């Protein structure tokens, strides 16, 4: 959180460090958010949310790598295979959640909506340039 705040994507207060170079506000914020997440659901829900998020982020990174594969000297076959496997894994876990524990999937979608809204409100009015 501290590094992301220094890049301008989170509030600057999260990037501040104490005299020991520890990002106290970022740690307290992460602990508070984790505590709220634990109170609102089970450990299994937190693991499933983390797994889906990890798979989605990895899939997006693989797609980005495919787009710049000439610059990164990436193997086209391995990159496409990674995209296929990550997409399959993501769809499989989402399918499982929808079939077995749909209420958890609703909660996970609600978390994504809340995070998206917070990101949108925070970025509204900010001019952050992303270069690809």
What is the arithmetic mean of pLDDT over 120-129?
69
Q: Is it the case that residue 102 has pLDDT exceeding 70?
A: yes
Q: Is it the case that residue 126 has pLDDT exceeding 90?
A: no
Digit-coded pLDDT (tens) for 18-67: 999 999 999 999 899 888 877 876 778 888 888 999 999 999 999 999 99
Rg (CA), the chain: 18
- Is the distance from CB of 55 to CB of 86 less than 8 angstroms? yes
The token duo for 23 is 């990002």
The token duo for 78 is 């391995």
Q: Is it the case that residue 130 has pLDDT exceeding 70?
A: no
pLDDT at 127: 61
Residues contacting residue 25 through CB under 8 Å, at least 6 positions apart: 13, 14, 16
Q: Is it the case that residue 131 has pLDDT exceeding 70?
A: no
Q: Is it the case that residue 13 has pLDDT exceeding 70?
A: yes
CA distances from 94 to 1, 62, 98 (A): 27, 19, 6
pTM of this prediction?
0.72
Q: Is it the case that residue 110 has pLDDT exceeding 60?
A: yes
């Amino acid at each position: 959180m501290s590094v992301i705040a220094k890049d301008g994507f989170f509030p600057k207060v999260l990037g501040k460090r104490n005299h020991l170079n520890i990002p106290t506000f970022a740690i307290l914020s992460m602990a508070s958010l984790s505590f709220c997440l634990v109170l609102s659901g089970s450990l299994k829900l937190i693991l499933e949310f983390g797994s889906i998020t990890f798979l989605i982020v990895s899939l997006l990174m693989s797609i980005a790598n495919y787009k710049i594969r000439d610059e990164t000297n990436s193997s086209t076959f391995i990159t496409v295979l990674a995209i296929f496997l990550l997409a399959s894994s993501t769809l499989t876990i989402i399918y499982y959640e929808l079939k077995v524990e749909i209420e958890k999937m609703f909660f996970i979608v609600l978390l994504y909506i809340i995070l998206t809204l917070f990101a949108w409100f925070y970025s509204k009015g900010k001019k952050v340039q992303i270069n690809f």
